Structure 1
Amino acid sequence: MNWFLFFWVVFKAILFSTGGFGPLPSLHTDFLANGWATETQFAEALSIGQITPGPNGLWVVSLCYLVAGIPGAVLSCIALLVPPLFVLFVQQCYNRIAHLPATQGLLDGVVLVIASFSIIVLMGMFQSSGLDALTVVIASVSAILAVTRRVSINLILLFAVVIGAVMG
């Protein structure tokens, strides 16, 4: 087994996820594509993750142990620890430059880029699913309600799904 590639696949899945079961799709795709894991191993790792105490993300350690033994488990632990340590490092750096006007300008620019990417992705989703007036209305009303923060995001999503299912 190429241990560097193994670490990179696990690290990438963890780094670009939101924790818990976030790495599942990426790990599932990459582990199966490389022939490292089976569906049974994924099911076992997820089961172990559910019955053990602690954060949900620890199922990754179980999976990597089932796939690559102790070295896989150790590499997955390192991959789980690096992103939070990186965030702490970035926070320390940010605290030193937070008062500078350029810092706020940079953050404003990053927000604009992320918002632009989100709009591009949404437009692609709308176009691929058949853009219609109902979809535009649901998306617009949902966005306005989300921005005002007067209605819970969960309620917005629930009503959007119900309206879309009933009307469409």
Structure 2
Amino acid sequence: MSWVIFFWTLLKSVLFSSGGYGPLPSLHSDFINYGWAGQKQFTESLAIGQITPGPNGLWVVSLCYLVAGLRGALLACIALLLPPLLILIVQRCYTRIAKYPATQGLLDGVVIVIASFSVIVVFKIFVSNGIDVETIAIASISSILTISRRVSTNVILLVSVLVGIVF
């Protein structure tokens, strides 16, 4: 196992997730593909993450300990701590450059890229699960309600799941 690749895989998964269980799909795919972990390690680490107090994201440390021992757990801790530190550094720099129009243009571009990735992922999910009228209706109504901000996102998710189960 290359420790550099191991660390960059962890960091990539943590950077491009929303925290908690966000890195799970990426880590699962990468760790399985590299042959570093099996389903048993994921199940055990998620169970440990559920029963231990503290932030939900610490299941990653358990997974890396099960996969690579103490060194893996330490690399996971570093990978989990770097994004918040990076945000602090960026925030400090942003206050100095926020007044420039190029800064706002860059941020607008980043938002467009993230929105485009989201659309691509949703499209791939639709294609892989089969496109049907019910799925399109649920997605469309959920999107409209989310954009209107009149209904809580949690309520939208709950109702969408229930409607999906019924159909």
TM-score by length of 2: 0.81
Runs of 4+ in structure 1 over 6 Å off: none
User: Hey, what's the Cα distance between the residues in 1 that align with 2:48 and 2:135?
Assistant: 40
Could you tell me which runs of 5 or more consecutive residues in structure 1 were left unpaired when the two chains were aligned: none
- CA change 1:5–1:149 in 2 (3 A) is same
User: Hey, what's the Cα distance between the residues in 2 that align with 1:16 and 1:120?
Assistant: 15
Alignment of 1:129-168 (within 5 A): 129-130=130-131, 132=133, 135-164=135-164, 166=166, 168=167
Counterpart AA for 1:62:
S
| Rg larger for | 1
1:15 and 2:19 are equivalent in the alignment: no
Count of residues in Structure 1 that have an aligned counterpart in Structure 2: 166
How far does residue 64 in structure 1 lie from its aligned partner after superposition?
A: 1.3
Structure 1 residues 73-98: Cα deviation after superposition (integer angstroms, max 9, x where no partner): 11111111111111111111111111
Q: Cα RMSD (Å) of the superposition?
A: 2.4
Matching residue of 1:70: 70
- CA change 1:32–1:161 in 2 (3 A) is closer
Work out the percentage of aligned pairs sharing the same amino acid. 64
Matching residue of 2:30: 30
Could you tell me which runs of 5 or more consecutive residues in structure 2 were left unpaired when the two chains were aligned: none
TM-score by length of 1: 0.81
User: Hey, what's the Cα distance between the residues in 1 that align with 2:127 and 2:111?
Assistant: 24
1:3 and 2:13 are equivalent in the alignment: no
